[in-house]
Structure 1
Amino acid sequence: MDDLDILVQSHLFSGIEPNDIEKMLICLSAMRKEYEKGEMVVCEGDSVNDIGIILKGSARSTKLSITGKQIIVSLHYPGGYTAILTAASGKRKCPMSVQALESLAVLFIPVRNVLSRCKKLCIAHEQLLLNFFDSIAERALELHDRNDCLIMPTIRDKVLTYLTKVCHESKARIVRIPFNREAMAGYLNVDRSALSRELAQMKRDGLIDFYKNKFELL
């Protein structure tokens, strides 16, 4: 799948013809940049002036707690964004870091070019602007879902909240999550050993079944 295919499927360019997207990328001064595994795309505290759309690979957003513990906030895949809320906010600094989990390609679009009135008054740009605000709302709701896991009082509640959300999105009872145990513990902000113990107990209680990162809600 090439870059244009990813952009056609992305929320930002929804409803815009491929030929129009190619023309708009020039008008918007879009720039493609590649990163190696482990390289930082955005660091916590950075100013962000561009909308980043992932074209290839995956990344994760993380945040350091006051104790220095790294908490996984979200994962990003092709078609997804990097720090879109910070880019839209204007002068606010990015509250989290974005790091490449593998070889990564990101398309950066200056947010001012998205918000500026198109000189050609093209309908496609109007659609782009509508999609941009829609994407901001979508990202905010994703973080709201993430917060639902964090505010749960017990590890069991956190696991069930997360798995229920993933199963609902996948419309399936059996899902493969994008985490190993260490990453899952980081995402739920719990101790890894405690998480493993609780997963085993939940399996014995007949709530879930799992093998590695494949889970079934019973």
Structure 2
Amino acid sequence: MLPEYNVLFKGIDQNDCRRMISCFNADIRKFKTGSKIMDYSDNPDKLGIVLSGTAVMVRYDINGVRSIMESLDEQSVFGVYFTFTASQRSGIEIIAENECEIMFVRRSKITKRCENACQCHSRVVENLLELMSEKAISLNERIEVLSQRSIEDKLISCLSIIEEKTPKGKTPKIPFSTTALSDYLCVNRSALQREMTRLKKAGILTISKRKFTLVRNHDSDN
């Protein structure tokens, strides 16, 4: 199957895209819900691109505590190259949230220029650099969320970012279950549920099947 709208091959002719996929020895695989897609410790040179389905990037600290670092939907890219961390004290895995189809390529295959220095290879490298910039922005957003001191502020910050990224005319949707959202925000699940209930009763937040609306006129009294 040819991933026609693959972000890594954006702007490249279909025939060239097929040739590049062959040149990179790309491996396209399917994964069942809940299965491990990749363990970063075993695959330092591997990049993955989500062709269909959704997955999550999960981090385990030295005590085994799980945190969700990122939600990966269709066309998301993952790999050691994009994590911006040199720490060896924690493990990072990619887990399928539902059935996924993933294309794997080796970073070294992309960054090593081909003998012909073809234009399409240069475009792939440009796309890779652009994806790295987008990941840096995503990392800053996560820092912004986690730097908030209260559960309410973390939740509102997270939902505001999701809202800003939602196309105009569509209702924003939380990409996590409540349990996964608590892992993403690094807070206790029960405490998060209580806070969400309080915000709903206060008319600040409405949620239905993960789709939500934030009411902006809830300035504090300070």
Specify if TM > 0.5: yes
Q: Deviations over 1:93-147 (max 9, x none)?
A: 6851111122222111111111111222211111111111111121122122122
| 1:55 paired residue number | 51
Determine if the alignment matches structure 1 residue 161 to structure 2 residue 157: yes
Q: Partner of 1:96: helix, strand, or coil?
A: strand
Pairing 1:119–2:115 present: yes
Q: What is the distance in 2 between the residues matched to 1:150 and 1:3?
A: 38
For residue 110 of structure 2, what is the amino acid of its counterpart?
A: V
Q: Is residue 209 of structure 1 aligned with residue 206 of structure 2?
A: yes
Q: Is the 8 A contact 2:175 2:210 kept in 1?
A: yes
1:5 to 2:4 alignment: yes
Distance in structure 2 (CA, Å) of the matches to 1:176 and 1:88: 27
Q: Kindly tell me: are residues 174 and 54 of structure 1, through their superposed partners in 2, closer, same or farther at Cα, counting changes over 3 Å? A: closer
> Structure 1 residue 83: deviation in Å?
1.3
- Runs of 4+ more than 6 Å apart: 91-94
Structure 1 window deviating more from structure 2 (37-46 vs 153-162): it is: 37-46
- What secondary structure does 1:175 align onto? coil
Normalising by the residue count of structure 2, what TM-score does the alignment of the two structures yield?
0.86
In the alignment, the residues of structure 2 paired with residue 54 and residue 35 of structure 1 have an alpha-carbon distance, to the nearest angstrom, of 11
- Could you say if the C-alpha distance between residues 181 and 92 of structure 1 is closer, same or farther in structure 2, counting changes exceeding 3 Å? closer
Secondary structure at 1:114's aligned position in 2?
A: helix
CA contact (8 A) 1:36 1:104 kept: yes
| Offset, 1:217 | 0.8
**CA RMSD, Structure 1 to Structure 2 (Å):** 2.4
The answer to whether the 8 Å contact 1:208/1:215 transfers is yes
Unaligned 5+ runs, structure 1: none
Output one character per residue of 1:56-87: Cα deviation in whole Å (capped at 9) or x when no partner: 22211111134422111111122111215259
User: In structure 1, what residue type is equivalent to 2:175?
Assistant: P
Q: Aligned partners of 2:15, 2:165: CA distance in 1, in Å?
A: 31
> Deviation of residue 162 (structure 1)?
0.6
Find the aligned partners of 1:208 and 1:54 in 2 and give their Cα distance: 31
Q: Residues 1-218 of structure 1: matches in 2 within 5 Å? A: 3-7=2-6, 10=7, 12-83=8-79, 85=81, 95-171=91-167, 174-218=171-215
State whether residues 51 and 87 of structure 1, in contact with CA within 8 Å, keep that contact through their aligned partners in structure 2: no
Structure 2: gaps of 5 or more residues: 216-222
Matches of 1:87 and 1:119, distance apart in 2: 30
Q: Normalization by structure 1: what TM-score?
A: 0.87
